[in-house]
Amino acid sequence: MAITKEKIYEPLNEQTAIELVKTLNFFAPGAELVVHEIGDGNLNLVFQIKDLHTSKSLIIKQALPYARVVGESWPLTLDRSRIESDALKLAGEVVPNLVPEVYYTNPTLALTVMEDLSTHTILRKGLIARNKYPQLADHIGTYLAKTLFFTSDFALHPFKKKELTVNFTNPELCKITEDLVFTDPFHDHDTNDFPFELIEDVKQIWGNTKLKLEVAKLKKKFLTEQEALLHGDLHTGSIFATEQSTKVIDPEFAYYGPIGFDVGAFLANIFLNAVALPGHTTDKKEIVEYREHLLQIARDTWTVFSATFSQLWKENGLEIYTKVDGYLEVILQDIFRDSIGFAGCKIIRRIIGLAHVEDIESILDDTLKMVVKRKALKIGQELILQQTNIQNIDDLITLVEAQVQ
């Protein structure tokens, strides 16, 4: 079959997806293959292919030359597929248990064939269903520490670091983040998407010069600081989980950026779920308990991240100044402050900007939904404005806990 030999890109359909895996001999000759296109993200095609005889299955993820959520009027580079598969492979070297295995990549067709994680649940959906994930904080804290430390100047030869910086130059996907996270929600822009009831709250944000000055500084960090290879879009829809296992997927936004951006993205999405919680159950005891579970995840993720990062620093630091007393503490404090600021921007973009979160949008009671959105805007602003006053993770959790009540 011709598709793997094609020199030009074409989007797969269910038939050509099956032809592709047959050509690549992923299944035995007598396999009875069924295919479903299951992509529900903003950008790509995702095919799940399964052999009914053996139950063996895999995923083909293919980039479209445009953003799926908007359509062909928003062209988007196919190179994001190469970036994603390279980032998955690199993460697989340092956290093999925390990312899907990559079986095959084809940059011309902009596709990656990888492990099927359908035994797992998308974390965002699991959190909305109030499932508990006892390993999640340990896994995500470890994922963050290892992927970020080992791709930083603290651990790499400077030539290798620069080579990776070039390989992961990702201008089009970064531009999406620059616009949708840092610029548009803080200005009257046509990509914004918020209910009319919030107009006064939103106008107050647009007019808040102090807030916008902090956002400008955070955007500058995103634009200019090449600290480590980020996942770039580490929200709870980019994580598959069971009680025992966690897998981080979808690093198509990967690029060299500030470490706190990934940490903040994860924390922001945990906080968004916490603020949405009363929209999904009226059981007060359950709300209190599950909120505690979520805030403990946020607390433990930072604790595991900072402890693991510190250990790697001591054992694997290549940069000579990693031996200087006090430097690690300065770096961790900077990452902590940045994480809080970035988390604030990430929360606000999900209320005012394009691309919302199901945690909030699935709340059926419109009045309650509006209360939740207002609270989220308040938390986002507090995080951005208080980032330098919040001294440690307990202070951060206390602040968020008080706001989500």
Biggest CA-to-CA distance, the chain: 66
Distance of CA 68 to the CA centre of its chain: 18
Please pick, from the candidates 86, 214, 233, 382, the single residue that binds ligand SR1 as defined by CB under 6 A: 233
Q: Is 213 helix (H, G, I), strand (E, B) or coil?
A: helix
8 A C-beta contact, residue 193 and residue 354 = yes
Please pick, from the candidates 18, 31, 64, 67, the single residue that binds ligand SR1 as defined by CB under 6 A: 67
Binds 397: which of ligand SR1, Mg ion, none (CB < 5-8 Å by kind): none
Q: Is 37 exposed, middle or buried (0-12, 13-18, 19+ CB in 10 A)?
A: middle
Q: Which is nearer to ligand SR1, 147 or 177 (CB)?
A: 177
Please pick, from the candidates 33, 198, 355, 371, the single residue that binds ligand SR1 as defined by CB under 6 A: 355
Please pick, from the candidates 3, 16, 33, 42, the single residue that binds ligand SR1 as defined by CB under 6 A: 42
Q: How far, in Å, CA of 217 to CA of 215, rounded?
A: 5
250 contacts Mg ion (rule: CB under 5 A): yes
Residue-by-residue DSSP string for 227-242: -EEE-S--SGGGEEE-
Strand order in the sheet with 239-241: 121-122, 239-241, 246-248
Chain residue at closest Cβ approach to Mg ion: 250
Binds 288: which of Mg ion, ligand SR1, none (CB < 5-8 Å by kind): none
Binds 260: which of ligand SR1, Mg ion, none (CB < 5-8 Å by kind): none
Virtual torsion, Cα 278, 280, 284, 289, nearest 10 deg: -90
Binds 69: which of Mg ion, ligand SR1, none (CB < 5-8 Å by kind): ligand SR1
State which of positions 2-41 bind ligand SR1 (CB under 6 A).
Answer: none
State which of positions 160-189 bind ligand SR1 (CB under 6 A).
Answer: 176-177, 180
Least gap, CB of 42 to ligand SR1 (angstroms): 4
Least gap, CB of 78 to Mg ion (angstroms): 15
Least gap, CB of 252 to ligand SR1 (angstroms): 9
Q: Which is nearer to ligand SR1, 18 or 181 (CB)?
A: 181
State which of positions 4-63 bind Mg ion (CB under 5 A).
Answer: 41
State which of positions 43-62 bind ligand SR1 (CB under 6 A).
Answer: 43
Q: Where are the alpha helices (DSSP H) in 95-179?
A: 123-128, 136-150, 158-167, 171-177
**How many chain residues are in contact with ligand SR1, going by CB under 6 A?**
9
Least gap, CB of 238 to Mg ion (angstroms): 5
DSSP H or E segment with residue 43: none
Q: Which is nearer to ligand SR1, 312 or 345 (CB)?
A: 345
Least gap, CB of 64 to ligand SR1 (angstroms): 12
Least gap, CB of 102 to ligand SR1 (angstroms): 20
Binds 227: which of Mg ion, ligand SR1, none (CB < 5-8 Å by kind): none
**20-25: Cβ within 8 A, 24+ apart:** 20/60, 20/111, 20/113, 21/49, 21/58, 21/60, 21/113, 24/104, 24/113
Binds 176: which of ligand SR1, Mg ion, none (CB < 5-8 Å by kind): ligand SR1
Cα–Cα separations (whole angstroms), residue 71 to 65, 66, 75, 194: 9, 6, 8, 20
Q: Which is nearer to ligand SR1, 51 or 358 (CB)?
A: 358
Q: How far, in Å, CA of 397 to CA of 403, rounded?
A: 10
DSSP H or E segment with residue 341: helix 327-352
**How many chain residues are in contact with Mg ion, going by CB under 5 A?**
2
358 contacts Mg ion (rule: CB under 5 A): no
8 A C-beta contact, residue 65 and residue 10 = no
Gyration radius of the chain's alpha carbons: 21
Q: Which is nearer to Mg ion, 153 or 179 (CB)?
A: 179
Q: How far, in Å, CA of 151 to CA of 148, rounded?
A: 5
Q: Which is nearer to ligand SR1, 76 or 294 (CB)?
A: 76
Q: Tell me how crowded residue 151 is: count the other CB atoms within 10 A of its CB.
A: 26
8 A C-beta contact, residue 157 and residue 236 = no
Please pick, from the candidates 28, 69, 216, 223, the single residue that binds ligand SR1 as defined by CB under 6 A: 69
Q: Tell me how crowded residue 399 is: count the other CB atoms within 10 A of its CB.
A: 17
Binds 180: which of Mg ion, ligand SR1, none (CB < 5-8 Å by kind): ligand SR1
Interacting residue ranges for ligand SR1, rule: CB under 6 A: 42-43, 67, 69, 176-177, 180, 233, 355
Interacting residue ranges for Mg ion, rule: CB under 5 A: 41, 250
